[in-house]
Amino acid sequence: MQVREREATNPATQPQAPVFVARGLTKVYGSGDAQVVALKDVNLDIRQGEFIVLLGPSGSGKSTLLNILGGLDAPTSGTATWRDHELTGAGDDELTTYRREHVGFVFQFYNLIPSLTVEENVRLVAQIASNPMRPAEALELVGLTHRAGHFPSQLSGGEQQRVAVARAIVKRPDILLCDEPTGALDVDTGRLVLAAIAKVNAELSTTTAVITHNSAIAGMADRVLRLSGGRIVKEEPNPKRIRAEDVTW
């Protein structure tokens, strides 16, 4: 799989308006003694086509942030907007529409539908998208054309995760959110998945956010956000992105 480097066209370096704007995001779970503050006053801007890696240990608030950005969860306070969509305070129907039309997800445990074949898992999303690519095209992009007729349980973990990537990108999402996409995979398989994600980011100019506690992946990003204790503690631009194939851990 060939992934071109895009140093010259890195949008992060361009003076572009942010597509994601989060201000004062706070998320508190539970109450009283059982209260857990997952996010504390987080401010964040993400630009079109940017590849962001969110780094941090377990419990640092990465997933909570990603879930809020993806319209899966609502903050306790603060605001999050995607272009002209106000995500905070949106109803379930609005959030469903938002996810359906704009967001592609890749999760650590793939979340494939076991009773649908690889091609069907991808088509499932294509059938509800307004301008999808052909499922076969998406599968080709992740190099799984030959596995189209198999069920998820007949695939390896890496293959399943690449199906998840294909499923996420088939709708040509504006934003691709990946939560520990390599968390359950070995290095070689993980690289294949990362390559697929990078390829989508490059070829479709999809704004991409990847959560990981694996700092090696940070080298692929335009910008790395380090989280700890529910806050963004460090923001590091990465002018010299490496290829997925070169990531090691």
DSSP state letters, 37-104: EEEEEEEEEEETT-EEEEE--TTSSHHHHHHHHTTSS--SEEEEEETTEE-TT--HHHHHHHHHHHEE
User: Letter for the amino acid at 138?
Assistant: A
Buried b (16+ CB within 10 A) or exposed e, 72-97: bbebeebebebeebebbebeeeebee
Which residue is listed with tokens 């608030």?
61
Q: Pick from 48, 117, 182, 201: which binds other proteins (CB under 8 A)?
A: 117
Interacting residues of 115 by C-beta distance below 8 A, sequence separation 6+ = 151
* Binder of other proteins out of 100, 172, 213, 243 (CB under 8 A): 100
Nearest to 200 by CA among 222, 169, 225, 228: 169
Q: CA separation (Å) from 48 to 10, 52, 117, 212? A: 10, 11, 33, 21
Specify the residue, 143 or 183, whose C-beta has the smaller distance to other proteins.
183
> Does residue number 111 form part of the binding site for other proteins (CB under 8 A)?
yes
Other beta carbons within 10 Å of 118: 27
- Please tell me whether residue 37 binds other proteins under the rule CB under 8 A: no
Enter the tokens of residue 72: 């899966």
Question: For other proteins, which is the closer residue by CB, 185 or 244?
Answer: 185
Q: Please tell me whether residue 159 binds other proteins under the rule CB under 8 A.
A: no
67 near other proteins (CB under 8 A): yes
Tell whether residue 114 is a contact of other proteins (CB under 8 A).
yes
Q: Which stretch binds other proteins (CB under 8 A): 10-18, 93-101, 231-239, 240-248?
A: 93-101
Q: Which of 136, 140, 143, 151 binds other proteins (CB under 8 A)?
A: 151
User: Taking CB under 8 A as the rule, does residue 214 contact other proteins?
Assistant: no
Does position 156 interact with other proteins (CB under 8 A)? The reply is: no
Q: Does 109 bind other proteins (CB under 8 A)?
A: yes
Residue 241 near residue 7 (C-beta atoms within 8 A): yes
Binding flags for other proteins, 179-208, as an x/- string (CB under 8 A)? x-----------------------------
Contact set with other proteins (CB under 8 A):
63, 67, 70, 72-73, 92-93, 96-97, 99-101, 103, 105, 107, 109, 111-117, 120, 123-125, 127-129, 149, 151, 153-154, 167-168, 171, 179
